[in-house]
Amino acid sequence: PPQQYQRNLHFCVLAHHNIATMGRRPFRCYRYQKNKPYIKSRYCRGVPESKIRIYDVGAKKAPVDLFPFVAHLVCDEKQQISSEALEACRIAINKHLTNTVGKDGYHIRVRVHPFHVIRANKMLSCAGADRLSSGMRHSYGKPIGVAARVDIGQVLLSVRGKDASEPHIVEAIRRGKFKFAGRQKILKSLKWGFTKYPREDYVNMRKNGELSADGNIVKVHNRHGLLEQSALYLAGQE
């Protein structure tokens, strides 16, 4: 059929000119949030897998009382961060902390997830490509990767550990910063580990039984429910 003949002719021309498509674009093309969120769906198919698949690294099952110190990497710009950059940052921090405090002395948690699909209009770059390429006709691109949309003041990742490990944790996060575009800040938290309670409040609430350790988080004993099931009542607090 004529369509088949045209297609074969097109491939013969491509082979004759030894044509290759362009490589990946530098991420400066996708750094800023210009468009609406564009996520993987039944309409947006064929999206490549995210490069970061592990979000918790290190001693993630360590009890909440073991790691009181926590530091955050906080974004200072409204931008997009690729899944490749998140994975590179996680690896850099993990490597430094493994060599300094040991693999059981810290817990890294990546706090942003790449859901935004980035596209590229693939162009032919070679001799004679101008006769084959369609330019800006039908220029809606194909998915080439995913990125996380982050805001000013958003926590990108958190690392908890012992108080003695503080300089190593801060240095590890500083090394991880180099994997991202833009500006980030390293903040030492006043909270206890990954909980929402300041250190003094946490110690007092643990002593009087309002909080109890539940893995790497804490469980709050509120004053609801039956007395025989209340930890505070059984401990003689009320």
Is residue 182 left, alpha or beta, with left meaning phi > 0 and alpha meaning psi from -120 to 50?
left
Adjacent-strand bridge partners of 120? 142
From 89, 112, 85, select the one nearest 28 (Cα to Cα). Answer: 85
Say how far apart CA 193 and CA 212 lie, in whole Å. Answer: 14
For residue 112, the model assigns a pLDDT of 97
Say how far apart CA 133 and CA 128 lie, in whole Å. Answer: 9
Write down how long the chain is.
Answer: 238
The helix/strand/coil state of 60 is coil
Low-confidence winner among 62-71, 129-138, 155-164, 229-238 (lowest mean pLDDT): 229-238
| pTM (predicted TM-score) | 0.84
pLDDT tens digits, 172-193: 999 999 999 999 999 999 999 9
pLDDT, mean of residues 73-99 = 97
Say how far apart CA 84 and CA 219 lie, in whole Å. Answer: 35
168 and 160 in contact (C-beta within 8 Å)? no
Say how far apart CA 71 and CA 107 lie, in whole Å. Answer: 11
Residues in Cβ contact with 34 at an 8 Å cutoff, skipping those fewer than 6 apart? none
